[in-house]
Amino acid sequence: MYIPSKLFQESQPSVNLLGSMQKQDAKPSIPVEVNLPKDEAGNVDCKALVDELRECHSLQDQANYLYMLYTLKGPDWDTEIYGEPGSTVTDLLTELYGKVGATRQWALIRYISGILKKKVEALDEACTSLLSHQKHLTVGLPPEPREKTISAPLPYEELTHLIDEASDKNMSVSILTQEIMVYLAMYIRTQPSLFAEMFRLRIGLIIQVMATELAQSLSCSAEEATESLMNLSPSDMKNLLHHILSGKEFGVERSVRSLDSALTPAVSIREVGPVGATKTERAGIIRLKSEIKQQLDKRRQSVSELKSGGLHSLEVSMEASQVKSTVVSTTWLSLEGFSSLLVCVG
């Protein structure tokens, strides 16, 4: 997952978009080529890093410095940043979390939450709720073996450990996975029809689809789409998820916020009704499900008629199937992305 930072941009890869042939290799937890202070032995000088942290005014850069100290020294290392003992890395991260929360910098909020391993409320209950509706879960970005399957309820600590492992210890991916799991559980309780033909919920794939849809809507790169996704407010994140599950058309509004003495791009999700729409109406996942079912029914009918000697009926059925395939290729959401989310019939 990409985090907008000059210091760490190489250590936080973007989400691979659907249809991309790019392979996402594992990245080291600490970037190799960064301009960090070194001591006489050539190691990172953590005291000098604390001095730089003290003079740093950007909340993003403060988070990056603290992540480096967290990785090198651990959460309980006393930085003595104010000239006296009593300021551990965890203390400074918690203080920074409060500042970031006040400015609603959602990407940083999620980032620091991941570092601090903050508990997502009712995560284990959300997992149990999804499983109780006969849905299998996978976490982690595709492909396997990074994806991990959850087929039975797990205690909270074991569940978060599994998500961290599937996320390659990437805090942003981990916390977003937990967030999406809670939203899915909310929707399956209130709108179970959204999941009627889904047997397995691949949360990593859902994250990929969300990033891909933002990239297409904003005509931007994978890095920019991932940054926009991570910067969505919780309500916008939930709305985007609902639009993708339901197949409803949505719009993306660009805006600019003044943060850290700089202008930062932001996006929000809005519903687009039939009145005033400038694009061809998009059918989405509901239409896609219907078309796939109709194709399967046609194929079953064709096989049955072939066995009984009905060759003419088979030709007609194949022509109908070709027409359906053409219709499916014009739907808003890609078949490649969502076919793996649907139950495999037959």
Cα–Cα distance, 173 to 28 (Å, whole number): 15
Q: What pLDDT is attached to residue 27?
A: 38
In this prediction, residues 144-157 reach a mean pLDDT of 88
Among 14-18, 309-313, 327-331, the minimum mean pLDDT is found in 327-331
Q: What pLDDT is attached to residue 158?
A: 94
Using the structure block, give the residue that is written with the tokens 């000088």.
45
Q: Are 250 and 269 in contact (CB under 8 A)?
A: yes
- Which range scores top for mean pLDDT: 124-138, 260-274, 279-293? 124-138
Q: What is each CA distance from 261 to 18, 60, 98, 175, 258, in whole angstroms? A: 35, 12, 18, 27, 6
Nearest to 237 by CA among 285, 284, 179: 179
Global pTM exceeds 0.75: no
pLDDT above 70 for 278: no
Question: In the structure, what pLDDT confidence band is assigned to residue 141 with cuts at 50, 70 and 90?
Answer: confident
Q: What is the pLDDT of residues 181-194, one digit of tens each?
A: 999 999 999 999 99
Q: What pLDDT is attached to residue 8?
A: 37
| Portion of the chain with pLDDT greater than 70, in percent | 66
Q: Which residues contact 248 (CB under 8 A, 6 or more apart)?
A: 242, 271, 284
pLDDT above 60 for 318: no
Average pLDDT of every residue of the chain: 76
Q: What pLDDT is attached to residue 273?
A: 55
Q: Which residues contact 207 (CB under 8 A, 6 or more apart)?
A: 15, 141, 173, 176, 177, 180, 229
Taking the CB of residue 193, how many other CB atoms lie within 10 A of it? 10
pLDDT above 90 for 313: no
Q: What pLDDT is attached to residue 95?
A: 95
Q: What pLDDT is attached to residue 221?
A: 87
Q: What is the pLDDT of residues 240-254, one digit of tens each?
A: 999 889 887 767 766
Q: What pLDDT is attached to residue 127?
A: 95
pLDDT above 50 for 154: yes
Q: What is the pLDDT of residues 222-231, one digit of tens each?
A: 888 888 899 9
Q: Are 206 and 212 in contact (CB under 8 A)?
A: no
pLDDT above 90 for 53: yes
Nearest to 318 by CA among 335, 301, 293, 339: 301
Cα–Cα distance, 241 to 209 (Å, whole number): 10
| DSSP codes joined into one string, 94-154 | HHHHHHHHHHT-HHHHHHHHHHHTPPPTTHHHHHHHHHHTT-EEEESSSSTTT-EEE-S--
Its sign, for the CA torsion 240, 242, 245, 249, is negative
| DSSP codes joined into one string, 233-277 | -HHHHHHHHHHHHHT--EEEEEEEEEETTEEEEEEEEEE--STT-
Cα–Cα distance, 106 to 111 (Å, whole number): 8
Q: What pLDDT is attached to residue 168?
A: 84
Q: What is the pLDDT of residues 192-201, one digit of tens each?
A: 999 988 888 9
Using the structure block, give the residue that is written with the tokens 């990785």.
71
Q: What pLDDT is attached to residue 320?
A: 45
Question: In the structure, what pLDDT confidence band is assigned to residue 261 with cuts at 50, 70 and 90?
Answer: low
Cα angle 63, 65, 71 (rounded to 5 degrees) comes to 100
Q: What pLDDT is attached to residue 146?
A: 80
- The tokens describing 92, both together, are 């400074």
- The tokens describing 317, both together, are 């059925």
In this prediction, residues 75-82 reach a mean pLDDT of 93
Question: In the structure, what pLDDT confidence band is assigned to residue 336 with cuts at 50, 70 and 90?
Answer: very low
For 202, the 3-state DSSP assignment is strand
In this prediction, residues 199-206 reach a mean pLDDT of 92
Question: In the structure, what pLDDT confidence band is assigned to residue 337 with cuts at 50, 70 and 90?
Answer: very low
Question: In the structure, what pLDDT confidence band is assigned to residue 31 with cuts at 50, 70 and 90?
Answer: very low
DSSP state of 323: H
